[in-house]
Structure 1
Amino acid sequence: MAALIRDHSGRVLLVRKRGTKAFMQPGGKLDAGEDDITALAREISEELGCVLDPASVLPLGAFDAVAANEPGFRVEANLYRVDVTGEISPSREIDEAIWVDPASPPDIHMAPLTRDHVLPLASQG
């Protein structure tokens, strides 16, 4: 699952994992017994140090793309629009977090899911 987190200006939060080059959405894989929202709340807390607002969760769809960090594999992700509270502070395996304008993203290396699906969807509003 993956999170589309926006700021008050409409920018989208992207993260880069330690030892990788591609920026992508915050999120991750389910642990045993978790549903998407529980897992997303856990990942956001662990990786960004902030709290997912459960009242803000809006499912945006399921998407499929080439995996950014696992050559020869694909990623399938359920995408959710969420709001967070608290300061965003990258930790654990996250090296960097940036805000980008989805309508005119900077020239950075992005995961195919982010580049081909998430940012185009976010730029529509």
Structure 2
Amino acid sequence: MELGSVFPFTTIQSVVSRNMLESLAVPTFRVGYIITTDALYKKIKLKGVTMTTLLAKATAHALVKHLIMNSSCRDGNSFTYNNSINIAVTMATDDGLITLVLQDTDKVDVYSLSRKWKELVNKAHVLC
């Protein structure tokens, strides 16, 4: 590889690039809270629950309480509430970033969610 050389994206890089560009058109809301998870996390970590899974579950719980945050504005005049709460988590790989999606995060218990997360991470490592 030489400086100034141009190399085409791999398939996964093309998908990530396209998705990142599309995300620029989506309104973004940022909300910050300080949360303390020490006691809870200490209990469930022993059962294989990761902090990523715990935060995804907490996010889904918040979205259930504030459904408008899980909606979209497609026509500029109204909100469309999504049928499900899916939490996307970006993960770094050797080939770049990949986004893994935990489907129906609000409906799945944290232990099952953690197993699903581990499956997705393993699949991502195989693909990349």
The TM tier, using the shorter chain, reads under 0.3
Which structure shows the higher helix fraction?
2
**Which of 1 and 2 has greater Rg?**
2
User: So what's the TM-score if we normalise by structure 1?
Assistant: 0.25
User: So what's the TM-score if we normalise by structure 2?
Assistant: 0.25
